[in-house]
Structure 1
């Protein structure tokens, strides 16, 4: 029987329904440095974990615009939940690039949660029937709540080192509880360690072809969703939490605005002060700009995938540009609204201070950092070669 795929709006509505729950559990998540089980249950029951699951396993294979809009909506409730959801979405999509027999193993149970790491901080050496893996992956967002990890490593071969992605059951990894941070505290982005871990050959995926939009799945070969190159897919996806945080900052500010005065001034009502009008207008403008860049990146991924169009280098770099722009504009909006929120906003029960720390943490991420992304696009626009493989 054909799998019924919800519309984009229906999935956004499902995400919106979760926002009050995510807001309620946000402080608990900060204090416990992990997502509340209620959040995870809600993501499962809403079907949102199916966004990037292949349809033959009951998933939706949602397009990138849907993925971005849904995760941004979750970000209105909690930045850490939105961030982990973006990692789930990317890693689930990555699982769909492995050979079909590996996918059968990963997606054997409905609602499986897959997380992963792009940084190749482990090494693999050939062994009979597979590889032996050693190393660690820090910042492993969502792994505390996952069954599988799709992690990058370097395969050491006689021909030289080769970047690969490995699919690993989380139960095979050692977890180091070291996530003590200022922002995205509930993401539980701990370190994981592999020690002489054997990984079968089928679960070792060369990354060179993947970065160019090629993979080993026969069943997903004709799906537009799985034709997109890795970096464009990943960058468009992880732009969404920043958009959600900027929206959350706006909502948090306006919830507290009625009846607030500006202390040590004659303004008994902050909403009547011209400085407030300027701050609000500037913040809203930046939120709109962040949304534009997130949707432009998602639209390019969807359009090229649907048309089967090869990506130009400029297009690949432009998605990185859009990601950097989303993060910078979102942070600017949050900064403005946080500055306008007064001294009482520093209490942990006031969301704006958490939103500020979360968006700052996003902007420090190596792939999301605006300056890194802007430099990359500028190099390409000026006719130079990229200074990274991750484009």
Structure 2
């Protein structure tokens, strides 16, 4: 099946997609408290994302997507997150997941899209308990998986770690999945990252892709579609969606702090807050750190694009760890910046009506993601610098 749409003749540009994101910001700011209260994005927000074409940014052109590249994805994610952290987080996942689908065998992609170019997908990779049984023609899955962000809107799900001994990806339709709402958390509440339960679900062989192919950039779908970015290990570009969202949250938080200090005076001295040199220096430092994080992200996107076009990184033994290093560093830097912004914002920033406290909590939760542990990323890169090989696993 080759979905032919007139949209393919007028594929939007990176600038078009950023402009579409910017146009949604006022409404997303207004709905951010609603998303947090309801612990999921409002239906209207997801509908606007679909109409803007955000899930199609990395989607294969053969199935109605734009194939614009991860640099476009990260800028759109960053922009959305300046208004609502949960919205930026889920935007990332909608974008990444349609690309993940393009790595599966073509038969699975045909089944997934089923004559439509408008489908949403969610993933789960952390199993509380799971069991996979190899059977004739495929496998059977039973278990419970956590953190399926955006699951309320998903048509399909990718189980990324189907068993304790298997890291392959498996694609299952919504009808085979039960959602369990345990998402009562301190931050990123609007992502609706509920648990998934599967009970003896059959997954045919064509809806499975090998972790080795994912890690090496040799997936059957990627090779069949000829998408340049699919030539690289999936994790190199995929890891950047979360740092992009965190950068956007920090931008939104800094703007809110700048606004909240206008007209305020120090309690005991009466000094105007915006005239205090300490505040001027602190805000400048925070904005500079956010700018530095953004530049690192954009530099990494440009290098990944060039490596994808070339079909390989110039120094695979070392470059295998550089994207993870930079993503983890950016996330750590944003976490530190959020703390500085919180400390200078003053006591009124803790009220729920003030977006500062929400940005702080969303960033605090976002930086805990398992893919962004700085010490692990730094150790792996350091080992590569000294040709020590991958760290032995127990």
TM-score using structure 1 length: 0.93
Deviation readout 1:83-129 (Å, 9 max, x if unpaired): 11112222211100111121122123232111113446633211122
Pairwise mapping of residues 23-38 of structure 1 onto structure 2 (< 5 A)? 23-38=29-44
Q: Where does residue 14 of structure 2 map in the other structure?
A: 8
Check whether the contact 1:235–1:323 (CA below 8 A) recurs between aligned residues: yes
The total of aligned residue pairs comes to 384
Aligned-partner SS, 1:245: helix
Instruction: Describe the superposition over 1:147-183 as per-residue Cα deviations: whole angstroms up to 9, x where unpaired.
Output: 1111113469xxxx44210001122111111011101
The correspondence for 2:331, drawn from 317, 327, 331, is: 327
Task: Measure, in 2, the Cα distance between the counterparts of 1:338 and 1:213.
Answer: 41
Q: Specify the SS of the correspondent of 1:132.
A: strand
Residue 224 of structure 1 and its aligned partner are, at CA, apart by 0.7
1:69 is aligned, of 53, 75, 79, to: 75
Aligned to 2:214: 210
Q: Residue by residue, what CA displacement relative to the aligned partner does 1:167-216 show, whole Å, maximum 9, x if unpaired?
A: 01122111111011101010011110111111111101111111110111
Q: CA RMSD for the aligned pairs?
A: 1.9
Q: 1:272 to 1:316 in 2, by over 3 A?
A: same
Contact 2:242–2:366 (8 Å) recurs in 1:
no
Unaligned stretches of 5+ in structure 1? none
- CA distance in 2: counterparts of 1:314 and 1:221, whole angstroms: 28
Distance 1:179 1:135, change over 3 A: same
Q: Tell me which residue corresponds to 1:361.
A: 365
Alpha-carbon contact 1:123-1:135 (below 8 Å) kept: yes
Note if 1:272 corresponds to 2:275: yes
How many angstroms does 1:219 deviate by?
A: 6.9
Moved more, 105-114 or 134-143: 105-114
Report SS of the residue matched to 1:16.
Answer: helix
Q: Which residues in structure 2 correspond to 1:1-391 (within 5 Å)?
A: 2-108=8-114, 109-119=116-126, 122-154=130-162, 161-217=165-221, 220-267=224-271, 269-310=272-313, 312-387=316-391
**1:166, 1:205 within 8 Å by CA — same for their partners in 2?**
yes
1-structure distance, mates of 2:110, 2:242: 26
Separation (CA, whole Å) in 2 of partners of 1:280 and 1:358: 20
Decide whether the 8 Å contact of 2:182 with 2:194 is kept in 1.
yes
Q: Which runs of 5+ in 2 are unaligned?
A: 1-5
| Residues 216 and 316 (structure 1), Cα distance of their counterparts in 2 relative to 1, 3 Å cut | same
The Cα of 1:388 is off from its aligned counterpart by 8.0
TM (normalized to structure 2)? 0.93
**Contact residue 296 and residue 322 of structure 1 kept, 8 A:** no
